């Protein structure tokens, strides 16, 4: 080969190599620029995805996933260049020790920017201690134990009611219905799950009852996972409370409701449930409709909200819930949706997934519109302890097979008339 041809061949190879390197560099930098333009922000959510509260956890998970899908479809976190949101889950199994372990895993291994959960107060209370220790923001979803937001923590925020609010609202409703009809119970009974949640609720009921002149004639804690409530119902018969307040998760509440119906146990001013199992659509699928006739249910959700809201994201979430779960949006779906949207709002204002900046943004939250209010609140704003002081519930009554909001009175749909006192079993249809 001549020197001329050798030089030309070498030059061609050099040009090809340079071109390849240039193309590779451009590809690398384009990929890098794309990654820089649209990072992913990962948040974590600890929920009971197995065990006794699995139905609740699954619904909350669906709500969180719907919110993530909506946020990403609408352009992600715009202040962070359209960053996509990603949510990873930890299964607490409704057990405190496992909830703590899962929290630590999400913080240290998954490196989440923020956390949400964990529904069960007995799990949320110690798990939020872990989040506080690691300085990782936690948005409480569902758990109502008062002390969760009474520890001077800086990284824990609760959207929904604390137990104190729930109990007050139940007594407020009894007061309102008594005033409207001129018929008022004098005695109350309380049966509850003997966990942090149940005991906290019972203590608050007794406090408000005493302040308003009601006599609590039955105060009965029951261990979780009961198979028979005969002993508790015998005590109801003997003490004869005129209104019965109950606090149980889905499996226990199913058994209690069936046995109340089977024994045809009359409580003149009705059964008043504080959420738990009676917030769960799966509960209503599993229990005979007659067993829950005239039930009053206090929950952090207005059951007929889709009849009054015009927010397209909330309406879409209700539709998606029907597609995925087979029933409309529940309190739990709405809480999962709300929790993620509250974190999204803070990310937008922080412009960063830095945990400290995100914590500061959460502390400054003031939401007055949008899908974060899917539960029916008018505002989300946290006090110095991290409690949303604008949280409130709604109380429905199962009237003619349909749950209708009866408290607050201004939330009632036209034509809704509470049944007070409730019919005896012998007065009810198909008795």
**20 in any annotated domain:** no
Same domain as 98, residue 245: no
Q: Helix, strand, coil shares of the chain as percentages rounded to 5?
A: 50, 20, 30
Reported as a single tens digit per residue, the pLDDT across 295-308 is 999 988 999 888 88
**31 in any annotated domain:** no
Same domain as 289, residue 420: yes
Q: What is the mean pLDDT of residues 397-414?
A: 90
Residue 197 pLDDT grade (very low, low, confident, very high; cuts 50, 70, 90): confident
Same domain as 411, residue 278: yes
CA geometry: angle at 401 spanning 395 and 405, to 5°? Answer: 20
Give all strands (DSSP E) within 236-280, no chain letters: 243-247, 271-274
Q: Helix, strand, or coil here: 19?
A: helix
Same domain as 171, residue 255: yes
CATH number at residue 320: 3.40.50.2300
Same domain as 172, residue 97: no
**18 in any annotated domain:** no
Same domain as 149, residue 172: no
Reported as a single tens digit per residue, the pLDDT across 97-139 is 999 999 999 999 999 999 999 999 999 999 999 999 999 999 9
Q: Could you tell me if 391 and 301 are in contact, meaning their C-beta atoms sit under 8 angstroms apart? A: no
Reported as a single tens digit per residue, the pLDDT across 220-240 is 999 888 899 999 999 999 999
Lowest mean pLDDT among 71-80, 121-130, 207-216, 279-288: 279-288
Question: What are residue 144's DSSP bridge partners?
Answer: none
Higher confidence at residue 331 or residue 9? 331
Cβ neighbour number for residue 22 with a 10 Å cutoff: 10
Instruction: DSSP letter for 150, please.
Output: S
Same domain as 418, residue 350: no
**417 in any annotated domain:** yes
Phi then psi for residue 58, to 5 deg, are -65, -40
Residue 38 pLDDT grade (very low, low, confident, very high; cuts 50, 70, 90): low
The region, left, alpha or beta by phi > 0 then psi within -120 to 50, assigned to residue 243 is beta
Cβ neighbour number for residue 49 with a 10 Å cutoff: 20
**26 in any annotated domain:** no
**409 in any annotated domain:** yes
Question: What are residue 382's DSSP bridge partners?
Answer: 388
Same domain as 413, residue 322: no
Same domain as 294, residue 420: yes
Q: Is the pLDDT of residue 59 over 60?
A: yes
Reported as a single tens digit per residue, the pLDDT across 260-287 is 999 999 999 999 999 889 988 889 999 9
Domain that holds residue 404: 164-299+400-427
**24 in any annotated domain:** no
pTM of the predicted model as reported, rounded to 2 decimal places:
0.80
Cβ neighbour number for residue 312 with a 10 Å cutoff: 10
Instruction: DSSP letter for 163, please.
Output: H
> Rounded to whole angstroms, how far apart are CA atoms 398 and 292?
7
Q: What is the mean pLDDT of residues 378-383?
A: 96
Contacts of residue 357, defined as CB under 8 A and 6 or more positions apart, other chains included, come to: 350, 351
Same domain as 288, residue 239: yes
Dihedral in degrees, nearest 10, Cα atoms 194, 227, 333, 364: 10
Q: Is the pLDDT of residue 17 over 80?
A: no
**103 in any annotated domain:** yes
Q: Is the pLDDT of residue 37 over 70?
A: no
Measure the N-to-C terminal CA separation of the chain; round to a whole number of Å. 108
Same domain as 291, residue 153: no
Residue 16 pLDDT grade (very low, low, confident, very high; cuts 50, 70, 90): very low
Q: Is the pLDDT of residue 28 over 80?
A: no
At 18 the pLDDT is 44
Mean pLDDT across the chain = 91
Same domain as 113, residue 230: no
How many independent structural domains does the chain possess? 2
> Rounded to whole angstroms, how far apart are CA atoms 73 and 87?
15
């Amino acid at each position: 080969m001549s020197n001329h041809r050798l030089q030309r061949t070498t030059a061609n190879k050099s040009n090809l190599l340079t071109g390849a390197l240039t193309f590779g560099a451009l590809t690398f930098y384009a990929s890098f620029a794309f990654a820089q333009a649209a990072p992913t922000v990962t948040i974590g959510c600890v929920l009971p995805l197995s065990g006794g509260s699995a139905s609740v956890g699954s619904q909350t998970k669906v709500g969180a996933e719907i919110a993530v899908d909506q946020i990403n479809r609408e352009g992600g976190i715009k202040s962070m260049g359209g960053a996509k949101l990603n949510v990873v889950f930890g299964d607490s199994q409704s057990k405190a020790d496992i909830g703590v372990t899962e929290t630590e895993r999400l913080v240290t291994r998954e490196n989440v920017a923020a956390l949400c959960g964990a529904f069960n107060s007995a799990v949320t209370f110690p798990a939020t201690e872990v989040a506080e220790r690691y300085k990782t923001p936690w948005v409480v979803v569902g758990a109502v134990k008062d002390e969760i937001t009474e520890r001077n923590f800086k990284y824990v925020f609760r959207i929904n009611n604390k137990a104190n609010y729930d109990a007050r609202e139940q007594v407020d409703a009894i007061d309102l219905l008594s005033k409207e009809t001129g018929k008022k119970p004098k005695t109350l009974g309380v049966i509850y799950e003997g966990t942090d949640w149940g005991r906290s609720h019972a203590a608050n009921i007794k406090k408000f009852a005493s302040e308003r002149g009601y006599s609590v004639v039955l105060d009965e804690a029951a261990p979780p996972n009961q198979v028979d409530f005969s002993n508790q119902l015998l005590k109801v018969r003997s003490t004869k409370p005129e209104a019965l307040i109950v606090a149980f998760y889905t499996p226990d509440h199913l058994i209690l409701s069936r046995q109340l119906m089977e024994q045809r146990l009359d409580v003149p001013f009705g059964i008043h449930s504080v959420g738990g199992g009676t917030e769960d659509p799966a509960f209503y699928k599993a229990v005979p409709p007659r067993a829950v006739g005239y039930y009053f249910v206090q929950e952090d959700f207005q059951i007929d909200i889709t009849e009054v809201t015009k927010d397209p994201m909330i309406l879409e979430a209700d539709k998606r819930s029907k597609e995925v779960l087979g029933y409309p949006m529940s309190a739990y779906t709405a809480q999962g949706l709300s929790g993620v949207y509250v974190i999204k709002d803070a990310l937008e204002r922080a412009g960063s997934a830095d945990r400290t900046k995100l914590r500061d943004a959460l502390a400054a939250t003031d939401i007055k519109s949008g899908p974060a209010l899917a539960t029916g609140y008018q505002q989300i704003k946290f006090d110095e302890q991290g409690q949303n002081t604008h949280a409130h519930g709604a109380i429905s009554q199962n009237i003619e097979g349909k749950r209708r909001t009866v408290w607050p009175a201004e939330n009632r749909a036209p034509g809704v008339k509470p049944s007070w006192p409730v019919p005896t079993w012998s007065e009810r249809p198909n008795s």
